[in-house]
Amino acid sequence: MLSLPDSWVWDCWIVDDGEQYHLFFLFASRALHDPERRHRRAAIGHATSTDLKTWTRVADALVPSDAPAFDDLATWTGSIIKAPDAWYMFYTGTTDVNGHIRQQIGLATSTDLMTWHKAANNPILTTDPRWYEPLGDGWPDEHWRDPWVLADPDGDGWHMLITTRANHGPVDDRGVIGHATSPDLLTWQVQPPLSQSGTGFGQLEVPQIEKIDNQFFLVFSCLRPEFAHSRQRDPGSGGTWLAHAASPLGPYNITDARPLTDDTLYAGRITKDRNGRHVIIAFHNRHEGTFIGVTSDPIPFPDIPPTRATEPESGRSKP
């Protein structure tokens, strides 16, 4: 568990360098008093561990840039890829636009996971209104965040999964997995989404693709207030969700996704412990109405039922 006396901790992503686990996490000062204010004050912290339980905080990874910049308000959730020349961190940068938050995706690199340098050509990706909801055309803030980067299954470059919203359909039911491709991790091109809107979620936060027992899964998070009206019959409170995937790039069976956690644990990430077992690391969200803001200890991954024979929602889109 990572608990900071002076800061709330929430979304995280994990890198295993073979010797240590590196936890990159969002944090903001508890001196804000109201935890809802944390989103506009977030920076990216860094801690290390050998067992996923006891963490040592090290130098922070990224902080907001001086204005004007795409990330001059806060730096939000991302992911990290190891390339031959460096580690690449893809992260969310936010800026204020007339009281609303614009979200864009930036890049930082490091040779040692400790010292990070933001790319000169940031932001590397912005919302493409051909497929995705732009600022002011649905929800109050623009949704273009939480980049999850993975190698192409066929060895043809790289793919990025993005938390975003479609530009059509009922406003409460536009959550989709956005998609971008790159030949080199530096230049990126926005593609059509990898999932369809209308699956019952207003947003699919903190996406991750993981292979477990020879099956692919999409992991994402959504709380009950962001459920679409069509899902309000669901008695659950929301949390971290698991959906079957035919491949890392879909189709994803989001409509029949099942919860991995309730709303007391959020933004769960899957990793492996030193025994090769899949575990979940999430953050403790709320207890009896109070925001907690600490990461969990590793939680054993539950048994996974076989893939259901259901109609897929969307397939891979080729660049």
Token pair for 44: 């990216």
Radius of gyration of the chain (CA): 18
pLDDT of residue 235: 67
Q: Pairing state of beta strands 21-29 and 7-16?
A: antiparallel
Report residues of the chain scoring pLDDT below 50. 306-319
Segment 46-77, tens digit of pLDDT: 999 999 999 999 999 999 999 999 999 999 99
Q: Which residues contact 223 (CB under 8 A, 6 or more apart)?
A: 237, 238, 239, 263, 266
Contact at 8 Å (CB) between 266 and 285?
A: yes
Segment 210-267, tens digit of pLDDT: 999 999 999 999 999 999 998 766 667 899 999 999 999 999 999 999 999 999 999 9
Compute CA distances 50 → 21, 241, 267, 274, 286, whole Å.
Answer: 6, 27, 22, 9, 28
